[in-house]
Structure 1
């Protein structure tokens, strides 16, 4: 699954991807969901959480 670089500039993850990069990406996920929840003013569905974390 190759991904074009998104807002964070992160591409596809492979076996030799530095663990620091992976941890940094996953550390941002709760913040992304919090921003989306605040903007929508309601809890998010799982689908919305996945969508907003890919923007």
Structure 2
């Protein structure tokens, strides 16, 4: 066991549960593909629009 400044899945989901209204779009972009996908799916189960972008995928933002 060691110390890390990174939050684990449980901590991230607990943090996300504090939002009254989730963001319009959330991208999980850090960590292994499998873990990022699992986190995005867990967020989706909680009503979030969460996705894992493809490598070098570009996103256009608009207001």
TM-score, normalised to structure 1, is 0.34
Higher helix residue share: 1
Higher strand share: 2
